[in-house]
Structure 1
Amino acid sequence: MGYDLVLRSRRVITPAGERPAAVCVRDGRIAAVEDYHAVDGQDLGELALLPGLVDTHVHVNEPGRTEWEGFRSATLAALAGGVTTIIDMPLNSLPPTVTVDALRVKRRAAAGQCHVDVGFWGGAVPDHLADLAALYAAGVFGFKAFLVDSGVPEFPPLDPAGLRQALAAVDATFLIHAEDPAELRVAPNSVRYADFMASRPPAAERRAVAGVLDAARATGARVHILHLSAAETLPLIAQARRDGLRVTVETCPHYLTLMAEDVADGATQFKCCPPIRGAGNRDALWAGLASGIIDCVVSDHSPCTPELKHADVGDFATAWGGIASLQLGLPVVWTEARRRGHELADLVRWMARRPAEIAGLSGKGRIEAGATADLVAFDPDTTFSVDPALLRHRHAVTPYAGRMLAGVVRGTWLGGQPVAPSGPPRGRLLSRTGVGA
């Protein structure tokens, strides 16, 4: 049949569910999904064949803060974790991606370093709202905005009027860090996680999400709620959908698998914003994911240098808020999902197909004819203990150290070509208007 590659597995995860199949690739795309016995090819046996995961929430930080993370190390971590496409967030790099010139700087920094495909979000900040249309035309996939202090001075938040102005400026997807500053409190210097968690209560998310939904009603904009941690916001989102608003929602592996009750004094590797909450909230997030109110699970990979975590003193107030989990997201979520009775098809929907759809990556995140041949051979039953020294992101800091997880990536194909962390970088730079869009 003239195929470049045929992968056969008894567990191919397609949009219609799991089945034995032969996935046939030509010119970097899936040309056909045939019966398992219909075509000869490389036989994966009982290894599951997944579409490459799509992680739309990654802070690479290069250029400017490359000592935190860079394109080479981030994409190596992604590749090792079955993630074949990432979209880089516009902040923590210098300059932030808030102008066309800054986007060019970011793309130059990434060129030749990427082991997976990489796209870029733009930023919506007060002094650059006039740049949104040009930046969107230049190929960013949408825009991120904060409603609270971002943690870096060069990426200030939008107030309610600025948010509405941004939403009305261009018909793009707007990704919102939704916490209301009026509901936040100053975290005391403390080693107690409960003191930090109390400074960012669920009410801060609930009020901010309500405000975002009001702005979406007024403008008709597409809004995406980032890293949802407070389950009490889910009824607001469900009602907004019934009202016809264009709203989507993500959560993250740490909110689905970790819980406040297990965070020891001084364990600042668990700090993120919004915070990891209690076990009951975690269960409610899983219910929201199962019901479809929460669309997808992405990493919010937000690394920093070990010094910025202040592990020596364990002060939650001064430690950087962010969790690096790009390499571990697949087994972390699968371990808990399996325990709760979910299947690999659910995992693929949450971590591949829906993130791709939300970002507008129409060829990504699914195994069907016409899709990009980004594929992952996954062993869902093998278990391992997380060794930070084996992680490929720049710094070996993780709240998952020593945790027993299920699921190991056994092989990866990018555009139908086998790729491995030991090989050359073959990732492409994606654009909403060009390659991979």
Structure 2
Amino acid sequence: MSATFDLVIRSQRVLVGAEFVPAAVAVRGGRIVAIEPLDTALAARHEVLLPHDQMLVPGLVDTHVHVNEPGRTDWEGFASATLAAAAGGVTTIIDMPLNSLPPTCTVSALEQKRRVAGPKASVDVGFWGGAIPGNLGSLRELHDAGVFGFKAFLSPSGVPEFEHLSLDQLEAAATEIAAFDGLLLVHAEDPEVLAGAVNGGGDAYRDFVASRPDRSETDAVGHVIEAVRRTGVRAHILHLSSAAPLPALAAARAEGLPITVETCPHYLFFSAEQISDGATAFKCCPPIRDSANRDLLWQGLESGVIDCIASDHSPSTRALKLGHGGDFGLAWGGISGLQLSLAAVCTAAASRGIGLERVLGWMSGATAALARLPGKGRIALGADADLVAFAPAESFTVDASQLRHKNPISAFDGTTLTGRVQRTWLGGASVYAVDDGIAGVPLGVLRRP
């Protein structure tokens, strides 16, 4: 008898909608074509029965990843980043326009990234474009070429080739992007506040946090809200670190303004009280703040003011991250967390009584919606068969040297997390198994629908 399906996966716990149910999930041609009761007889070329300690969940969609290739491939690259993604249950990444050289601010730079990524990617890859002073007025070209939206900084980005926008330029970008119903993503820290809080660096973590105060985010978010109100642009606040802007964001949402918000695993897992002086592995901008602030971020997620969680995977070389004697003023700011995001958030959520189905809503469904990828981030008929076998009760201690990231550096090194990816499928094809490593099948790259 010829097989009806390419693959059938059976599990006592399959996340369908917002609840776990016993089910058999059938795949044909890379898509989910049937979801049946667990014991339904289904003919398939390959069949997998997950053990009782594992569940079947949708692959994560990580909409905030810095791959840094081409140009800074010693920091990361498409091969290493997507291997790490698959091992962490992430089946789609959207790459940020920096810190590659050139940044994704022109159609030619986008085409170059696609050529580089295509033969190396182990998961699906899409691209954000950049909005910088030098390409305003030509953003429609990048949009038409298939970027998913446009990232802008309101404060210096840390690399000279990606300049930040003034408030007048933010307004111009918002007006331009609104005209074609694009998405504007904003690194929201106010440069005037930062300039007024600058210090001499050093190894004191409290001084580093003081150099990027809550007000820098509050004022910048206020500027974005005003730009949205005037232009109608869809806007997304990246990596919200401070809970201080949440009331203003809640009011803007109540007003009907099209603003979405993300936060990151490191802001939800760590707190400033845990970070030792000189521990530059924890440096990121905006910074990890205190435990009371962390509690408020979780409340923002539960209330719906914060929409989603993305890794902001921003790696660098060991020399850039750790080679400055613990000086927070000199170390590169970024957390390498792509492979660990799901486990970190699950661990922190479980301690608060928050279920995995909500975590996956923030890390799969909401991020897929942000990127307008209806076939991603869910187990449903017609959706892409991007699936993960996940053992929610399995604990492990992070060893940064064993991660798939290019540079063995992570703020999570030595941390015990609970929840481990056992296997990852992309379009029904196995791209990771915990016992076998990564298949590394070259895949295509995504274009905005």
Output one character per residue of 1:120-151: Cα deviation in whole Å (capped at 9) or x when no partner: 00000001012200000000000000000000
Instruction: Indicate conservation of the 8 Å contact 1:8/1:45, yes or no.
Output: no
Give 2:129's aligned residue. 122
Residue 173 of structure 1 is matched in structure 2 by 183
Partner of 1:193: 205
CA distance in 1, matches of 2:393, 2:326: 36
Q: Secondary structure at the match of 2:339?
A: coil
Please show how residues 212-231 of structure 1 align to structure 2 within 5 Å. 212-231=224-243
| Paired-residue identity, % | 56
Q: Look up the match of 1:237.
A: 249
Contact 1:132/1:169 (<8 A) preserved: yes
Matches within 5 A, 1:272-287: 272-287=284-299
1:143-201 Cα distance to aligned partner (Å, 9 max, x none): 00000000000000011111111111132111100011111122322110001100000
CA contact (8 A) 1:13 1:344 kept: no
Equivalent pairs, count = 433
Q: What's the counterpart of residue 360 of structure 1?
A: 372
Letter in 2 for 1:124: A
Aligned to 1:429: 445
Aligned partner of 1:131 in structure 2 is 138
2:281 aligns to what? Answer: 269
Task: Quote the offset at 1:347 in angstroms.
Answer: 1.3
Structure 2 length-normalised TM: 0.95
The partner residue of 2:221 within 201, 209, 212 is 209
SS of the residue corresponding to residue 34 of structure 2 reads: strand
Distance 1:135 1:85, change over 3 A: same
How far does the alpha carbon of each residue in 1:385-420 deviate from its partner, in whole angstroms, 9 at most, with x for none?
Answer: 001111010111111111110011111110011122
2:355 pairs, out of 334, 343, 361, with: 343
Aligned partners of 1:144, 1:206: CA distance in 2, in Å? 19
- Deviation track 1:335-385 (CA, whole Å, cap 9, x = no partner) reads 111111111111110110100000111110000101000000000001010
Take 1:279 and 1:42, find their aligned partners in 2: how far apart are those partners? 42
Preserved contact between residue 281 and residue 322 of structure 2 (Cα < 8 Å): no
Match for residue 6 of structure 1? Answer: 8
* Offset at residue 38 of structure 1 (A): 1.8
Counterpart in the other structure of 2:29: 27
CA distance in 2, matches of 1:84, 1:143: 22
Determine the structure 2 residue equivalent to 1:45.
51
Partners of 2:260 and 2:275 in 1: how far apart?
A: 30
Question: Which amino acid in 1 is paired with 2:444?
Answer: R
Q: Which secondary structure does the structure 2 equivalent of 1:309 belong to?
A: helix
Q: Answer yes or no: is the 8 Å Cα contact 1:266–1:311 preserved in 2.
A: no
User: C-alpha distance in 1, partners of 2:199/2:398?
Assistant: 31
Q: 1:265: how far off?
A: 1.1
For 1:349-388, what aligned pairs fall within 5 Å after superposition?
349-388=361-400
Shift of 1:311: 4.2
Quick check: 1:57–1:89 contact (8 Å CA) kept in 2?
Answer: yes
User: Per the alignment, in what secondary structure is the counterpart of residue 163 of structure 2?
Assistant: coil
Q: Which runs of 5+ in 1 are unaligned?
A: none
- Kindly provide the amino acid, as one letter, of the partner of residue 57 in structure 2: L
Measure, in 2, the Cα distance between the counterparts of 1:264 and 1:29. Answer: 47
Alignment RMSD, CA only? 1.1
1:312 Cα deviation after fit = 5.0
Aligned to 2:311: 299
My pick for the range that moved more, 13-22 or 67-76, is: 13-22
8 Å contact kept, 2:250–2:305: yes
Report what 1:394 is aligned to. Answer: 406
Distance in 2 separating the partners of 1:426 and 1:34: 31
1:36 aligns with 2:38: yes
